[in-house]
Structures are given as structure tokens and as C-alpha cells.
A and B are shown apart, each in its own frame.
Chain A
Amino acid sequence: MNKRTLTALATALAASLALGATGCSKTKHADAGPDAGGKNPATANAGTVVGGTPQKGGTLTVLSNQDFTHLDPARNWVMNDMDFGTRLLYRTLVTYKAAPGTAGGELVPDLATDLGTSSNGAKTWTFHLKPGVKYEDGSPVTAGDVKYNVERSFSPDLPGGADYAARYLAGADGYQGPAQGKHLDSIKTPDDHTIVFELRKPFAEFPNATVMPTFAPVPQAQDKGPQYDNRPFSSGPYKIESYQRGKKLVLVRNTHWDAATDQVRKAYPDKLVMVMGLKANQIDDRLIASQGADASAVSWGALRPESAAKVLPSAEVRKRLIAESTNCTDMVQMHTGRAPFDDVKVRQAVQYALDKDAVLTSSGGPAFNDPSTAYMPASLFGGKQPDTVKVPVAGDVAKAKQLLKDAGKPDGFTTKMTVSTGDKGRAEAIQQALGKAGIKVTIETVDPSAFYATIGDTKNRTDMVYTGWCPDYPSGSTFLPFVFDGRYIKEKGNSGNHSLFRDDATMKKMDEIAALTDAKQANAAWQQLDGEILAKAPAVPVLVRRWPLVLGTNIAGAYGQTSFGGQLDYATAGLKDPSKSQG
């Protein structure tokens, strides 16, 4: 799901963009044990909870350089924002377990009593709602409210949300939301505690999709259309006291939330204050110093790479650093549908010319990034990406030149690459490396808001694009088909498959894997297919970023949630000593 990476980038402005860094050296170190951890100073806390168990009470302060893209559950589809929304403000049918490391990818029931039951060959899914779950005004959460929010996500007034409902629900074509009084027949609510989804095709992983905020309840009486974004109605442990867009958000306890119905959220602090629009570097400096009220603060955005020099050499600050992998792979995707990249040799030349080391450095260095040797991130390979093509990490210019010669382009060629403003530094590193092999690249930077529209126009876009893809949940089915299935290509509004890769063998294999019922077998097959596609080089995997965060000294219960792009898990974060915080 590009969308999240993208939108995450979109929200970070030019100021925060130089960085955007998250990274994923987790692959190398997570399995290498504590002694290898010494090599990457950023990952010593990987897989552990920093600060011990929090005490109840106090005010947790979040310092941010930006505002949320959307908090309206029908529109919230950015990793960080989904973390914040579903951990604090609203509950979904199913959610992720609150645990560090890979355990954070496990599903647990939330509003529902279980992970859903399927029938009709995984085309019908039934969920039962727990009794006693209440909104902030004490009224009960009903199955109809969940249905209503799923319907809202179809409204053209409320764009931006996850599109699983649109892709899978039966009879959803042309549906434009509930505002005109029309409803979806494929979602049935036989009583207030039962909801049944009718899908148009079998979808064994449907419970994974119900983690999305689309499947959170919104009572129709509270729906104010686009304005709901500024005041979502709470079904979680906190409710909004005040929200000044771009300035400040204050959350206080939802007294009607019952911990007995919730096995995920701990809700330690009494209050959460998010201060927005601060300068990213000043946030880093404040947290490194951790003076006074800043001791009870965390950062919303990732640490900026230029702050690394102030963090990594200090053992005291390193103890407060978490740097979970984002599990998103950055790639250079080449237009395989036209010259010169219709020639596999030319694409391989790019594969060999690219100096991942240099891109890594411009992205914050090996402490906050890992070079990527496969398309799918390490989480889909059980912790470590294989290296099937064996291109040296700094590239092999001689080999690249030879490949260009074989392709009949001994003098190289000129081409263009579109990148989002935040990836400017990484793009310059790529430009440098390819230039050495004779491939002259012109960089076209595009504002994050216009980036997808620009590269989605397959006729007028540049030959190369620099994008990322994150699996929505730990399954190869949320990665390879989105990025390499030729049948998803659209002439305008194209997404994911920016290589325009149309390979019969690949598509046949994908259909075979989708038909597999055994998850383990499917997993192994996806992993093998990854290598097979890599050999055809429609795209070059570049790196996986981490999401480094420095915590205040008074923060406890903190870890990066792997399923939310490494963002701090707000379900469990709290304070060591609430009396030290300032309200």
C-alpha cells in the first residue's frame, strides 16, 4: 500500500521532508542476536519494551511538526494516523496485538468477540460484537454503526480511506455513500451485535482488512460529513477535548470506555496533548535534552538524519531510542512498456549501476536504513531478505556498462526520474551512481500531494519513478500482486505497478498462489516468486527504512509497532512517574 507511505510523505512538508527516514536494518540485526546488535547502534532496543511498565496517570505530550492527514475513520489510511486513531479514539472489529517485535503483527479481536467466521468459501464473513462497548456519551456501539462507517468510506465527500471495502464487497460498484439515504445490501446487520459481509470473491484474509479504521463504528447522528474529521466521536479510551487543526490536539479520558471489554489498550496517561507545527529539528533537540516537561514527551515524526550525530554517540540517549523497521521497500520502478526499459538488459544495467550504499547514506545511514536485496520487506521473509541476484551493495559499474553494451547502448542514454520532494536526496544519490555507468538521469521532483497523480498517468510520466510499497499486513498477497500484476495497470490513476510490468508467467503464478489454502505453502511460494521477478528486473529494490524515535526520560511502555510502520504503539505508552509531567 503505497498510499500510506505516500500519504505519510505528503503530510510531512518540505521541512520535514529532507528526512522522512524510517528504516529497516531490522532484518540484519533482529536475527543476529545481541552481539551483532553492537554493530548497529540504533537497534539495541529492538523487540523490547523501553522504560518498563508505566504508572497510571499524568499527561503524555506528543511533539509534532505536522497535523494528521485524517482522523475520520472512513478516511484514515496513513500508518501513523491509523496507529493514533485506532489505539486511542476508536475501536475496529479486529486489531493488532499490543506487543513489540513480530508479535505486533498478530490479530486479536477488538469490537468483535473473535476474528470472524467465514462461510460460502470465504465469501461471507460474520462478526459478533462484544456487549458493553460504549461511545463517549455512554450510548452503546452497534453493528449498524460499523456498517454505516463502511458505507461512508464510499462517499466522494470523504476521500482518502482504505479501499478494501470497495474492492471486495459485493454490489459496491457505483455506490456513493449513505448521505443520499442509500445503503449497501451486501452488509447485513441481523441484530445490533451481528454484522455480516458478503464479498464478491473469496478473501481468506478478510479479518486482516477489518483492522483498517474503515471498520470502526460511527453513529449516523454524529456524522457531519467532511467536518467529522475534526471531531471523531470516540469509542476508545480517550475522547477529543479540543482540536485546533495544525496547532494542538488535547485528548482526555472517555469515562464510558470499559477496560474489561478491551484486551489491547492500556490507557495509562490521563491526558494526551499533541503540539503540532513545531520545527522537526527543535523537536529532536528537545527530546535529546529531555528537560522539564519534555521528559514526558515523545516525537510524532521520525528522528531526522542530521540529528543522528547527536544521538548515536551518546549511550544515555541511545537507551531511549527505538528504531523499528517500517517494512516498506523503496524501489526504482522502470517503465517496462517502452524503450529503453523494455529491454531486460537495460533494466539489469540499472540494477548493477545503482549504489545502494550511497542512497543509504543520503537516507540517514545504515543505522536507520537497510539495503534491500528483494522486493518484499524482511517481515515477509521471516526476518531476513534473501539475496538472489547478488549485486554488490555499492553496485558494479563495469558489469552495468557491459550490460548496456550487450543491449546495444555502449554510450549509455538519458532518461528522467520522478520523485516526491522528500526523496530528493535519495534521488540525487541514484542520479550520481547511474551517471557513472553512462545513464544520465534528470530528476523531476513533485510535491507529495501531486505525486501519485503524476506518476499514475502512464502515458505522460517519466521512464523511472522512485516509490515505496508497504504490505498492509504480513502476507505476500498484499505486496507482489499490487506491484507486479499487469492486470491492475490503469492508463490514468495507475498505482502500485509503476513498472507497468505485464509478464504472463508471473501473473499465472500469482493466480496459482492465490488459490492455495495453506498459508505456509503460499508464503513460501510468494518468496520464491519474489526472486523470479527480481531476475527480470522490472524494478530495483533500494532500501527499507526504520522509524527512529527518541523518547523523553520519563516515558515507559514504549516500542515501535511493526504493523504501524514502526510508529510508537499508543496502546501501551505511558509515564514512569506521572507526577513529573505537566498538564
Chain B
Amino acid sequence: MTTTLAPAAAPTGRGPWQLARAELRRRTSVKISLAVVALFLVMAAAAPLLSRLGGWSPEEFDKTAVDPYLGGQPLGTLGGISADHWLGVEPVTGRDLFARVVHGAQVSLLIAFAATAIVVVAGTAAGIAAGYFGGRTDAVLSRLMDLTMSFPSLIFMIAMMSVAKDVNRIALMTAVIGLFGWPGIARVVRGQTLSLKHREYVDAARVNGSGSWRILTRDILPGVAGPVIAYTTLIIPGMIATEAALSYLGVGVRPPTPSWGQMIAESVAFYDTDPMYFVIPSACLFLTVLAFTLLGDALRDILDPRGSRS
């Protein structure tokens, strides 16, 4: 499953930030999305605090909450939702779902954001270098982009995750996801840079004797910032989904560390006997992906207008 679709590169100048902010504030979908994103971010950041508030740590068993004779089904209705366990418990172990969902948010979002950061930094750098310097640099980098894009990425990520054993799984996952994501953004930035390269103000800077580094950082980088920001927001949901997919396939973070994908993977088997267990992490994943997609759409419309507004 390829989840990263490169939006068409667009020749725009420096975005009118004031206008953008006003435009964003005008949209209801953006407000709701921001609220959802903020909610989950707070949840992830304050996970230890929140789970202490709930009274359970994410790895603590509660034998009294499940029925061992029924394959460890939670006692009580709706997957054992009670004053004690706010979102119910995990079947078999009796671990608190609320504590696991908030800690899972931490892991899932951390990996998604870190991988996005790698992709954006590496992709932008490669794109600007290829576009600005051209010639051999461009040829080499473009071939490298083509090669990376020819890799069956999901299959490769699964393979790499499954061979590496004794390493920090979170760091490894971030690196592996990042490794295959950069060419998309690099292509966008390369196209953008090519069109900026010969604008008058860049030529003027060059004539004035500015060094390459100065031109790149002062003139080119701000010019590509708009599309990069829009693109970044749009790839975050893909990153979250990829983390979930890898964990779902059992090659993600290792137990008992929770992540949403891993929780969903374990809960799939209970989808009909304990639906709440399956629905809760799935809903979190869905809402987060949805919120980031809407936000990304809005940002793209404003910062990279050729995308969909005419």
C-alpha cells in the first residue's frame, strides 16, 4: 500500500502568512481537526500523568476484571467499562485500556512525528540540492529517488523490522519508515526549487555576491516552505498508518509497550466477543488520521493553491 501521493509541484512565491491564518480560522473542519489533534497530543504528552489519574499503569494486570473460564473475557458490560476502568480492560490480562490507549498514543505519535521529521528534513535537503545545483548532483539524487521509490516499501519495512532484534524498536521503526518516505517530498521541493532558481530576486542575490549557502537559506528555503508545510501535514496520517500497519503485522514495538497498531492487532481476535476492545484503539487511530488529513487538505489549499483551488 502506497500511502504517500505526491501532490503536483507548484510554483508559488512566499505565502502571505497573515492571510493564511485568517483563512484557516474561517474553516470549521480546521477548528475541529485542530481540537482533535490537540487532544491526542496532550494525551500523549501527559500519558503517565493521565494513567496515574486513572489509577492503573499500562502494564499492570487485573485478574479480578476478567473471567478466566471464558478465555479471559472482561467481566461486566462494554468490555468491563466501570468507574475503576474508564475504558474497560484488555481481555485475558485485565490491563487497563485507558492507560494503554494514552501510552499507546505516546508511542504511535512519537514514531509518526519523528519519522515525518526525518522525511521532511532529508527530503527538503535533497530536493533543494538537486534543484539548485543541478548537473551531476541532480542526476545522482534523482536516480537515488527513483531507486528508493522502486522499492516495495511495505515489504521492505517488514523485512527490515523482522531481522533486527536487539535494538531500540522505536528508533528503528522511525528510521525504517523515514528511509522510504523522503523521495516524495524531495521531488516536490526539487521542482519548486527549479522554478525559483531563476527568479529575479535570486539572480539579484547571486549578482550581489551572496554565497550558495546564503541564497539557499535566505531565498530558496522560504520559497519552498509553503508546499513543504502542506505536504508535511499530509504525510503525517500516512506515517501514523504505517506505524500501525507494521505493529499490526507484529514487527513493530515489542510487548508490553503499547502502540495503537499493536493494540488493534491484539484486539482483532476479540472483535466479536469483546467489541469495545477492538473499537477503542481503532477509533483513536481513525480520528487522528482523519484530523491530520483534513488539516493537511486545508493547509494545501491555502499554502499551495494550485493543488485544488482554481
Contacts and interface: CB of A to CB of B under 8 A. Distances in A.
Let me know if chains A and B touch directly in the complex, using CB atoms closer than 8 Å: yes
26 contacts: A14-B249, A41-B69, A281-B268, A304-B269, A305-B92, A306-B71, A309-B70, A309-B273, A310-B272, A357-B63, A362-B93, A364-B71, A364-B72, A365-B68, A365-B71, A366-B68, A367-B71, A421-B250, A425-B92, A425-B93, A428-B59, A432-B59, A432-B60, A443-B254, A445-B254, A445-B255
Contacts of B250: 14, 421
A361 B66 contact: yes
B255 A428 contact: yes
Contacts of B270: 306
Interface string A414-435: 0000000100110011011000
The 9 tightest CB contacts between A and B, nearest first, are: A308-B71, A14-B250, A365-B68, A361-B68, A305-B71, A306-B269, A309-B70, A309-B273, A432-B61
B184 interface: no
Interface in A349-392: 357-358, 360-362, 364-367
Nearest to B70: A309
Contacts of B165: 446
A18 B68 contact: no
A309 B61 contact: no
Contacts of B66: 361
Contacts of B162: 447
A138 B71 CA distance: 50
Given A361-B63, A443-B255, A445-B255, A312 B69 contact: yes
Contacts, number: 84
A307 interface: yes
Interface string A11-46: 000100010000000000000000000000100000
Interface residues of B, number: 29
Contacts of A281: 268-269
Most buried by A among B70, B93, B249: B70
Contacts of B269: 18, 281, 304, 306
Nearest to B269: A306
A533 B91 CA distance: 36
Interface string A483-500: 000000000000000000
A576 B162 CA distance: 46
Nearest to A306: B269
B266 interface: yes
Interface of B: 59-61, 63, 66, 68-73, 91-93, 162, 165-166, 249-250, 254-256, 266, 268-270, 272-274
Contacts of A313: 70
A365 to B, nearest CB: 4
Interface of A: 14, 18, 41, 281, 304-310, 312-313, 357-358, 360-362, 364-367, 421, 424-425, 428-429, 431-432, 443-447
A482 B59 CA distance: 35
Contacts of A431: 59, 256
A428 B73 contact: no
Given A307-B71, A446-B165, 12 more contacts: A14-B249, A304-B269, A306-B72, A306-B270, A306-B273, A312-B70, A313-B70, A361-B93, A362-B72, A364-B71, A367-B71, A428-B256
Q: Is the interface of B mostly helix, strand, loop or mixed?
A: loop
A431 B72 CA distance: 18
Contacts of A432: 59-61
A428 B70 contact: no
A362 B92 contact: yes
A365 B72 contact: yes
A358 B92 CA distance: 9
A29 B266 CA distance: 32
B72 A361 contact: yes
Contacts of B61: 358, 428-429, 432
A14 B158 CA distance: 13
Given A14-B250, A358-B63, A361-B92, A309 B266 contact: no
A313 B68 CA distance: 13
A306 B146 CA distance: 45
A358 B66 CA distance: 11
Contacts of A362: 72, 92-93
A41 B59 CA distance: 30
Contacts of A312: 69-71
